[in-house]
Structure 1
Amino acid sequence: MTESGNPSQPANVNEYNASHIQVLEGREAIRRRPGMYIGSTSERGLHQMVFQVVSYAVDEHLAGHADTIDVTITADGGVRVADNGRGLPVEVEESTGKPAVERELTELSFRPNPHTGYSVSGGINGLGLCVVNALSSRLTVEVHRDGHRWTQEYEKGTPITALTRNEESSGNGTAIVFFPDADIFEITRYSFATLSERLQELSFLNGGLAISLTDERPERPVRYHHSDGLQAYVAHLNPYPPSFVHSPAIAFESENEDATVFVQVAMQWNTWSTGGFHSFANTTRTHEGGTHEQGFRTALTNIVNDYARRQHHLSADDEAVTAEAVQEGLTAVISVKVARPVFEGATRTKLSNPEADAYIQGVVRKHLTDWLDHHPDEAAAIIRHILNTST
């Protein structure tokens, strides 16, 4: 991760190989209890299958290797996810006699070694591809790597062909086509709107990553690419310029010294809504908040009160402005990427890492205070807005 927003330095393509795969347990556990891995077997779980494959591709972007992800809802009911990352490893591991790509798709595994380039990961702790394969009636993987195109086919998580080396290829990347198992899922028809909303969200959270979605039922392509990242996300959430208390949105980012916490914030006050917080940890929406959101809210309230008193908007005898008043009309997006995320519950919707709270408080205090000091007119408008809502 760097101050410019690139979460990590690119790892060499050869550093991601079979030695990074560690076995936990087999596919039958997934098929017996799918809800433990994707939340449910309803429409929510169905779409989670897509997001898990996309998460692998996003991890390749975070590692500095992929800048494009193409998602297609196929006419025959499947989904294809393709990226231009390094490509899944194809070499045969000596201890098992299996290609690394087969292990990734058939064994509950994870990538704990930082040399893979995955300093952060947005999937089910690296288990996503195996879970999707186990819950699919059919899956085909196509890898462009090591100078060739490689393919392999699966049924219900079991390989039915060997990994095959095909024609020469000069590119790199992975494409996975899968069909949800009707014996597992209550519904197998994908919603374009549901997929589109999440893919657009991911494009906001990963500035510079281009994500496309095509529906072949009939064809309906969209493409998301936001170089402004979270500022563009706030603009999307705040669509009415006349209501802005200030413009543009305030945005900043920072990374700690040992590159284990990377935080991005964009925020803007408006008069048309009560506001709202959108917080994320490793690109997963944390609907229940957590330590990263707690740190932001605490620092924000303290900074607004400190600034209001320094600029004599509040006297020494005035009561402090409440957190509720400070947040009235505020639209904010907080995205944190941590090397070892700790979530409460299987749904991964509340972050528990204590270091996220402390680090974000410091980042917000430094960057927001600097912004207020360097934008006195906008700062005065924000304080007036907050004080008016508190009366």
Structure 2
Amino acid sequence: MSAESTGYDAARITALEGREAIRKRPGLYIGSTTVSGLHQLVLDEVGRAVNASLAGGGRVEITLTPDGGVRLTDDGPGTPFEDCGDTGRPGLETLLTHMSAGAPEQHDRRTVFMRPRSAKPSATNAVSSRLTAEVRREGVRRVQEFARGVALAPPADAGPVTGSGTTRTFRPDPEVFDTVEYVFAALAARLAELAFLNPGLDLVLTDERSPDGPQRARFRFPGGVREFVTFLDAQAGERFVADVIAFEREDPRMAGSMEVAVSWSGTHEERVRGFVNSMATHNGGTHETGLREGIAAAVDAYARAHGLLTAADPALRADHVGANLTAVVSVKLDDPELTDCTRRTLGNTAVRACVAEAVREHLGAWLEEHPREAEEAVSRILRAPGRG
């Protein structure tokens, strides 16, 4: 087929760059223009604010404003003011207007793992009808305003200030998004996850849109994944095993650390939640496989030692331990490897054995120390349908 017959040749190729490209094809940069994409845009900005905050005091405030905007304030070090050598423009302006600006996202265990293809600050700016950035750094407060990705003026000094951090206020553009109405509960659910997975973090979500007054929720969980499992169990019903078995372990073999919490509730459902660097792994992975294998090994060893299984009985498999199980396994890795097309499956091979070993040891010790609860939990697992 020739170019003449299709009507397609080099003259029809249009090169779009920068904000023009983002606004023309927003889905390529922000994932979606639906309410899901609107929420994800906010959560991408929350992730950046949390990463900045974890380097400071660990507090981020998120406010849904009456005009349809979002205001995020963190107590991190603040964006540098100095001019960027590549652009000759202030660092703040470069970050918010150039797609390639800024150091690569740090995806090690010290930070929240941004979703794959997360929107860069410049993309957020480009799809916002208005964005105002305020930076508090080195005793000075500076402010810069943008409209649909274009700086309206250079950064302006706004007087002295104590402390440091960044406040970014933006209004997603209704010309880009199908809707600009946020759902408070949807944002709150993700913020709660972040707070459970980062015990030092303090997140505050405020909704100022209602004429009846602001709605406010604070997320701070010093108990970490232990509190997470308690929260999940509260939604499902009472536990028949009173304790939540929880532990943390650093393991150089997987270049990272793990936090695990396990309990058994009165339901027959399995509720296992897996995370890598605070990002949900909806399709599982080696950390969840290791969790189940560790539980199976600990329960099998206890059952044989106490006469609940005989030498003739087959070994308990990982797929036998799900009934009644509530668990959270959170790993934080220096070099997380995500597989499959969704990038939501953890693939680090060393994690499987490390998590399985740690779970087997900690759960095995707990079972021996709590014989009454151990017998009930193990007996229920052995009686679960499908085993044999």
Q: Structure 2: how far apart are the matches of 1:309 and 1:36?
A: 55
Letter in 2 for 1:201: E
Say whether the 8 Å CA contact 2:108–2:333 is kept in structure 1.
no
Aligned residue pairs total 365
In the alignment, which residue of structure 1 is the partner of 2:182? 190
In the alignment, which residue of structure 2 is the partner of 1:43? 35
Letter in 2 for 1:384: S
Aligned pair partner of 1:341 in 315, 336, 345: 336
For residues 38 and 242 of structure 1, do their structure 2 counterparts lie closer, same or farther at Cα, with a shift above 3 Å needed? closer
Name stretches of at least 5 consecutive residues in structure 1 with no aligned partner.
1-24
In the alignment, which residue of structure 2 is the partner of 1:129? 121
C-alpha deviation, 1:29, in angstroms = 4.3
Aligned pair partner of 1:145 in 137, 158, 164: 137
User: So what's the TM-score if we normalise by structure 1?
Assistant: 0.85
C-alpha deviation, 1:147, in angstroms = 0.7
Say whether the 8 Å CA contact 2:250–2:257 is kept in structure 1.
yes
Q: Structure 2: how far apart are the matches of 1:118 and 1:151?
A: 32
C-alpha deviation, 1:103, in angstroms = 2.6
Q: Structure 2: how far apart are the matches of 1:259 and 1:61?
A: 26
Say whether the 8 Å CA contact 2:127–2:149 is kept in structure 1.
yes
Say whether the 8 Å CA contact 1:298–1:361 is kept in structure 2.
yes
2:196 matched to 1:204?
Answer: yes
Cα displacement string for residues 330-383 of structure 1 (whole angstroms, at most 9, x for unaligned residues): 011111222232323564322222233233223323332333333333322221
2:276 matched to 1:281?
Answer: yes
In the alignment, which residue of structure 1 is the partner of 2:163? 171
For residues 350 and 360 of structure 1, do their structure 2 counterparts lie closer, same or farther at Cα, with a shift above 3 Å needed? same
Matches of residues 1-391 of structure 1 in structure 2 within 5 Å? 26-62=18-54, 64-109=55-100, 111-112=103-104, 119-124=110-115, 128-218=120-210, 219-239=214-234, 243-257=238-252, 260-344=255-339, 347-390=342-385
Q: Structure 2: how far apart are the matches of 1:121 and 1:196?
A: 17
Cα displacement string for residues 217-268 of structure 1 (whole angstroms, at most 9, x for unaligned residues): 1111111111111111111111179731312211111223389422111111
Cα displacement string for residues 284-309 of structure 1 (whole angstroms, at most 9, x for unaligned residues): 21111122212222222222212221
Identity of aligned residues (%): 39
Say whether the 8 Å CA contact 2:276–2:332 is kept in structure 1.
yes
Cα displacement string for residues 134-171 of structure 1 (whole angstroms, at most 9, x for unaligned residues): 22121111111111111111222222221222211111
Letter in 1 for 2:226: Q
For residues 335 and 31 of structure 1, do their structure 2 counterparts lie closer, same or farther at Cα, with a shift above 3 Å needed? farther
Q: Structure 1: how far apart are the matches of 2:26 and 2:41?
A: 11
Letter in 2 for 1:296: L
C-alpha deviation, 1:118, in angstroms = 7.5
Say whether the 8 Å CA contact 1:56–1:122 is kept in structure 2.
no
Q: Secondary structure at the match of 2:241?
A: coil
Say whether the 8 Å CA contact 1:80–1:175 is kept in structure 2.
yes
Q: Structure 2: how far apart are the matches of 1:367 and 1:330?
A: 16
Letter in 2 for 1:143: V
Task: Give the aligned CA root-mean-square deviation in angstroms.
Answer: 2.6
Q: Structure 1: how far apart are the matches of 2:131 and 2:254?
A: 36
Letter in 2 for 1:41: T
Name stretches of at least 5 consecutive residues in structure 2 with no aligned partner.
1-16
For residues 29 and 332 of structure 1, do their structure 2 counterparts lie closer, same or farther at Cα, with a shift above 3 Å needed? farther
User: So what's the TM-score if we normalise by structure 2?
Assistant: 0.86
Q: Structure 1: how far apart are the matches of 2:327 and 2:43?
A: 24
C-alpha deviation, 1:206, in angstroms = 1.2
Say whether the 8 Å CA contact 1:57–1:66 is kept in structure 2.
no
C-alpha deviation, 1:86, in angstroms = 1.4
